[in-house]
Structure 1
Amino acid sequence: MSSGHRTFTVFLTLLSGLLLTLIGIVTHWPPLLWAVVMALLLLTALWAVRPRRTSGVIPQQRTLEPDLPIPPVDRWERVVTDIPLPSGMDDYDFLFSATIRWCPGTAPDRAPLVNAVGLATHSIVERAREVVATQAPYRSALAQHLLSAALGCMRPDATGRVEAMAENVELSLSETDRQRLNKLSTTRKNKELWEHERNYERNKRDYLGEDVLKDPGSAVVWWLSKDETRVEDTVQLIGTLAQLSAAARNEEVPDEFQPYLNSFPSPEASAQNGFHDAFSENGRAGHPYDMTSAFPYGTASGHTGGVPPGAAAAEAVEQLLTALELSADEPVGVLLTDRITEAVHGAGKAEEAEELGRRFSPPPPPEDEEKPDEDAPGPL
């Protein structure tokens, strides 16, 4: 009995004794009755406060044996790190890390013992290899999300003896492979840019040489199409357009356009009608269209006045560029000088063609400039 119960019993006994005492005084009990009542009251109090044997919280039948130790929990998991897995590119492997969780499957009767951890690890590695075998190595972050989803489900292995899944999946590349891929990507982008620029230049040259300047008439029509209201300005430029077309095709100016050769516009008129800006992005005015002094070292008949043929041809081409307000460094100037050099070489004038190539060929790029690698791999 607890101390609270004992206190309540003593209090109740005293209260009962007082009540019986009042009753005895009022009713004038004899002395013998007083002795009997007091004895009964005392015996009742002693019986109430006697110690009792309790059974406790645990039932008696459960305490016959001592508590046994709890066996350790088999956590059925394994951590693997940096397992190489093939990617979509040869010689570039992913590094796979994860926490493999597994549980035993249903074993048939008299089935042999197996290494459950090994079966679970093999199952997860094979599932991971099937997922990343087609993934590009430079997209390892995306491949990691796909792999986490593929390995996040508990599935049985090929033998059916274990079921396995993977958590905390990580997929990465070695630092050296990452650097190589960055270099390959930069090279590929530079090559694509260079190819686009070269194709743009080739298309522009084809457009000018095979469409715009294929004959004087096409050149005149092309110029007039820029502004149909400037007919008089176009008429003044017929001679210039005819000579430019003939130079682009390595031919003489047709006879029907010979009368227009001396009708060149003034520098102010050429700057006003924008002829030079049509061929160059950085047009500059200031050189007159004075074709009478364009060839001081000779004419079409071949007289050079004692000057070396190569120097005479180069000077003539330079005078032509000056008369047309073109520069040998501009795309149109390079196109014109290349066509003239090819025509001179085709005519059997090797010395003159060599001098023209030396004077007007663009300078080679610096040695330290990174050139596109023709053997660079294609898109990654």
Structure 2
Amino acid sequence: MAEDINLTLPDEDQKRLDRLAGVRKDEAVWEHQRKYEQSKRRYLGEDALKDTGSAVVWWLTRNDEHVAKTVADLPLLAQLTSAANDTDIPERLLELLPNRPGGPWTPDIGTESADLPGSEPSAADHLSGFFGATGFTEDDDRRAMLARQFSQLIEQHNRHETAEDLLRRFDPPRPPSPETGAEPAPDPGPPAATV
């Protein structure tokens, strides 16, 4: 039988244990954020943006008082779902696109693939058209952020080339820093937004 036992922990060991506890807490928070983001991407990719019809229903549930605006936004929703799923815009919706004067749809901005005669617009072309239609100009940082999010979503559906194409076009690597000559750290992007 023992009474009045005291244990003394050296300061260095206490600091080490405190740091380990902090790392474990950070890891738990990161894991929850990662699972939340995966869940959100799965929801958007497999449910909300599965096709144009699903996107319209999803949009109406969030904006049910704006039916006329939703109808007017059908071309945008078609382009968005097309880019998210790396598919062509359905034929029945092509005539709704504003810049389609009786021929195949081409994006507003000049791109290598859009300049080739007879070439089909790529997912990056569709996304570019979406950005233009929504007012995201070339110098708007939100274009790169959204492109990264679309790329991650598309990567989840094993469309690796398309995901890389989106990053190459809208979020290219930064040039080396002039002071150090080293490449800057990659931008992790903004925290995931709530949908």
Q: Give the TM-score, by structure 1 length.
A: 0.36
Match of 1:187 in 2: 23
Aligned with 2:46 (options 210, 215, 232): 210
- Residues 112-138 of structure 1, C-alpha deviations (whole Å, 9 max, x = no match): xxxxxxxxxxxx3xxxxxxxxxxxxxx
Match of 2:108 in 1: 294
Name the CA shift for 1:190/1:344 in 2 (closer, same or farther; >3 Å): closer
Shift in Å, 1:340: 6.3
Q: What amino acid does structure 1 have at the position aligned with 2:28?
A: E
In the alignment, does 2:36 pair up with 1:200? yes
In the alignment, does 2:131 pair up with 1:321? yes
1:1-380 equivalences in 2 (<5 Å)? 124=1, 151=2, 166=3, 168-262=4-98, 294-297=108-111, 302=113, 304=115, 317-318=127-128, 320-325=130-135, 327-330=142-145, 332-338=146-152, 343=159, 345=161, 355-356=168-169, 359=172, 364=186
Using the alignment, how far apart are the partners of 1:338 and 1:293 within structure 2? 23
**Secondary structure in 2 matching 1:208:** helix
**Secondary structure in 1 matching 2:172:** helix
Q: What is the alpha-carbon root mean square deviation over aligned residues?
A: 3.8
Shift in Å, 1:335: 2.0
Name the CA shift for 1:292/1:214 in 2 (closer, same or farther; >3 Å): same
Using the alignment, how far apart are the partners of 2:5 and 2:114 within structure 1? 84
Mark the structure with the bigger radius of gyration. Answer: 1
Identity %: 31
Would you say the 8 A contact 2:107–2:128 is kept in 1? no
- Residues 71-120 of structure 1, C-alpha deviations (whole Å, 9 max, x = no match): xxxxxxxxxxxxxxxxxxxxxxxxxxxxxxxxxxxxxxxxxxxxxxxxxx
Shift in Å, 1:260: 2.0
Query: Which structure would you say has the larger RCO, counting Cα contacts within 8 Å and 6 or more residues apart?
Result: 2
Name the CA shift for 1:319/1:229 in 2 (closer, same or farther; >3 Å): closer
Using the alignment, how far apart are the partners of 1:230 and 1:183 within structure 2? 52
Say how many residue pairs are matched.
162
Name the CA shift for 1:319/1:202 in 2 (closer, same or farther; >3 Å): same
Would you say the 8 A contact 1:294–1:320 is kept in 2? no
Shift in Å, 1:261: 1.7
- Residues 302-359 of structure 1, C-alpha deviations (whole Å, 9 max, x = no match): 45359xxxxx9978755543433452343x4422244568747269xx8x57834861
**Secondary structure in 2 matching 1:321:** helix
- Residues 220-276 of structure 1, C-alpha deviations (whole Å, 9 max, x = no match): 00111113232111100111101100110000001121222229xxxxxxxxxxxxx
Would you say the 8 A contact 1:295–1:316 is kept in 2? no
Shift in Å, 1:184: 0.6
Using the alignment, how far apart are the partners of 2:64 and 2:125 within structure 1? 36
Using the alignment, how far apart are the partners of 1:325 and 1:353 within structure 2? 18
Would you say the 8 A contact 2:114–2:125 is kept in 1? no
Shift in Å, 1:219: 0.3
Q: What amino acid does structure 2 have at the position aligned with 1:345?
A: E
Would you say the 8 A contact 1:328–1:360 is kept in 2? no
Gap runs ≥5 in structure 2: 100-104, 137-141, 175-184, 189-195
Name the CA shift for 1:229/1:214 in 2 (closer, same or farther; >3 Å): same
Would you say the 8 A contact 1:243–1:253 is kept in 2? yes
Using the alignment, how far apart are the partners of 2:95 and 2:80 within structure 1? 15
Q: What amino acid does structure 1 have at the position aligned with 2:81?
A: S
- Residues 18-54 of structure 1, C-alpha deviations (whole Å, 9 max, x = no match): xxxxxxxxxxxxxxxxxxxxxxxxxxxxxxxxxxxxx
Q: What amino acid does structure 2 have at the position aligned with 1:324?
A: T
Would you say the 8 A contact 2:41–2:153 is kept in 1? no
Name the CA shift for 1:346/1:319 in 2 (closer, same or farther; >3 Å): closer
Q: Give the TM-score, by structure 2 length.
A: 0.64
Shift in Å, 1:208: 1.3
